[in-house]
Amino acid sequence: MTNNDVLRRIRYILDLNDRRMIELWALGGREVTRAKMSDWLKKDDDPAFAECPDEILASFLNGLIVDRRGQRDGPKAPVESWLTNNAILTKLKIAFALKSEDILELLHLAGLVLNKPELSAFFRSPDHKHYRECQDQVLRNLLKGLQLKHRAASVPVGEAPSVPEGEAPPE
């Protein structure tokens, strides 16, 4: 998954408008213009599409954590210059206050079945012997599970959820 995919999906899941997304970046310590953000949210085949760098996504996810969980005591955590799917998974876990059981339930809701040891391997240190790299499929299914849980609750029965401009409707 690209950083742009993650941004677009989180925007859809939480039904965030441009102003709100810019606020989340500010909470993460990054100034972002509406024009630049718009380029990151465009479809990959759009001529104005711009790839979202790791630092930008990390700032957004850090802002999401601060917004949903509150500012952490002590010094601010440095923004990562390089993100892996494991780091994105960890940030989403923190932002949405998810326990292992919650993540397994979301994955199951999206059609992916993992057990607890398989899941815990994603949160281990890379030098741990049981560490496992989080594949795109896991991250994609977690985001799909979050979408099914959060968007389904906000859409009245019988109505289709709105789709952000430039984005394909959910599967």
In the chain, domain spans: 1-83, 85-157
Comparing CA positions, the residue from 114, 171, 144 lying closest to residue 10 is 144
* Spatial separation of the C-alpha atoms in residues 85 and 170, rounded to whole Å: 21
Checking if the pLDDT of 124 tops 90, the result is: yes
Distance of alpha carbon 98 from the chain centroid: 13
User: How much is the average pLDDT of 143-149?
Assistant: 96
Q: Which two structure tokens, joined as six digits, stand for 74? A: 């002590």
- For CA atoms 48, 170, 25, 85, give the dihedral sign: negative
How far, in Å, are 12, 70, 71, 138 from residue 165 at the CA level?
10, 30, 31, 26
Q: What is the pLDDT of residues 7-36, one digit of tens each?
A: 999 999 999 999 999 999 999 999 999 999
74 falls in which pLDDT band (50, 70, 90)? confident
How far, in Å, are 39, 130, 133 from residue 124 at the CA level?
34, 7, 10
Q: What is the pTM of this model?
A: 0.85
Checking if the pLDDT of 157 tops 50, the result is: no
* Spatial separation of the C-alpha atoms in residues 166 and 168, rounded to whole Å: 7
Give the DSSP letter of residue 122: H
* Spatial separation of the C-alpha atoms in residues 74 and 85, rounded to whole Å: 26
22 close to 37: Cβ distance less than 8 angstroms: yes
